Amino acid sequence: MIDKSDQADPGADDTDGQRWGQRTFSPEVVERAHEEIRRQEAERRRRLFGDRQPFAVPEDIIDFDFEPEAGVPVDYALNTAAATDATGGRMSHERCYELSIAAARQQGFLTRAQLARLGVDDGELDRLREAGLLTELDHGVYQHAASSVALKYGYSYAAWLALAPDRFRWERPQTATDDAVLSHESAARLLGLGALAVPRTIFTAPAELPAPRATIIHVERLAAADVTVVEGIPVTTPFRTILDLMRGFTDHDDFGRALQEAVRRDLVDLQEVYDAMLPLAPAHSFPTAGPDFVAHFLPDLDPSGLTPRNLRAYAELTAADSVAEAQSRVAVLLAELRYPTGAQHPADDGLSRQIAAEIVGRLRR
């Protein structure tokens, strides 16, 4: 609120001052002021945030309604309509709108540095926290009350934002492989693979980054095929995560539980994992023979619940001789079905092998 006495002409007499103090706006002037405010806010929101809708704005946090008062010039009203009430301490509607729409574009999260860019000072931030609008999940990272992201994902997303706290999500690289990606044990936890202890949040980035507290950053450029997005969080795929766990010298029992969960849920192809892990065996001391590999890492795996591709892989690893014997018989049957006249035909080892492996796998359930 301004001191209206400051608006008066020093040379005017008391009568002129009284007239100025009693000055009011006509309805037309008030409507023009409202319309100009709405136009300016709409233009600013389009420029900053596009067409994205904000979270709900709590009325007890903001000073939304504006009515020009007697003695307040129109230009002053336009400039202060959305300003914070210095006596009431309430945030302007414009600022709270921008805060909520920025949060909506980031899964409901904002960093302290981003809030500062939106004009939220420490005092306003404290009031927002006291009102329950923002909750601190990580050091300097807050979740908006309207966010529906579960804490399982929220902590990881907050840690990801903390890697570049002064930049909004849309200002960071839009290609996941050009930015930090959640990986290793942190990726396994997010993907629900095993029950690994994760005292720190782990990322893999294409270049070195300052690591916030309780954060580890591996430097490596990942291939596009190794990255997926879960609840807005760039994370390594289950296949890449499994390999990273082994490369990171994860305890074999913990690794086996993670691998078993990935195979059971059909998140990975067991045969592809086995083939990719063979070169790692000398450094990590695990058996390479198929039956021994399964017994070492997957002793509790129940083949009855496996999908066809992993059932075939299970049969290939645990009973390769039986699969080979069945394949010879399947090949003869396929030849009779396809070429009943006995004509020459090309070998079809791939199909016969798949059928044989599935037969053996089903018999072992």
pLDDT reported for residue 243 = 98
- Nearest Cα residue to 362 out of 301, 303, 318: 303
CA-to-CA distance for 219 and 198, rounded, in angstroms?
A: 19
pLDDT reported for residue 50 = 58
Coil, helix or strand for 74? helix
Beta-bridge mates of residue 124: none
pLDDT reported for residue 92 = 64
pLDDT reported for residue 64 = 36
pLDDT reported for residue 346 = 55
- Which tokens in the block code for residue 156? 């990881």
Other CB atoms closer than 10 Å to residue 67's CB: what's the count?
11
What would the pLDDT profile of 266-275 be if each residue is shown by its tens digit?
A: 999 999 999 9
CA-to-CA distance for 176 and 156, rounded, in angstroms?
A: 15
CA-to-CA distance for 82 and 63, rounded, in angstroms?
A: 7
Beta-bridge mates of residue 91: 62
Rg (CA), the chain: 32
Residues 6+ apart with CB under 8 A from 292: none
CA distance to 97, 231, 236, 327, per residue, from 204 (Å):
34, 18, 9, 43
pLDDT reported for residue 21 = 53
- Which tokens in the block code for residue 322? 């039986």
pLDDT reported for residue 83 = 38
Listed as ranges, residues in the chain with pLDDT below 50 are: 1-8, 20, 57-89
Helix or strand run (H / E) with residue 98: helix 93-104
- Nearest Cα residue to 1 out of 60, 62, 89: 89
Predicted TM-score of the model (pTM): 0.74
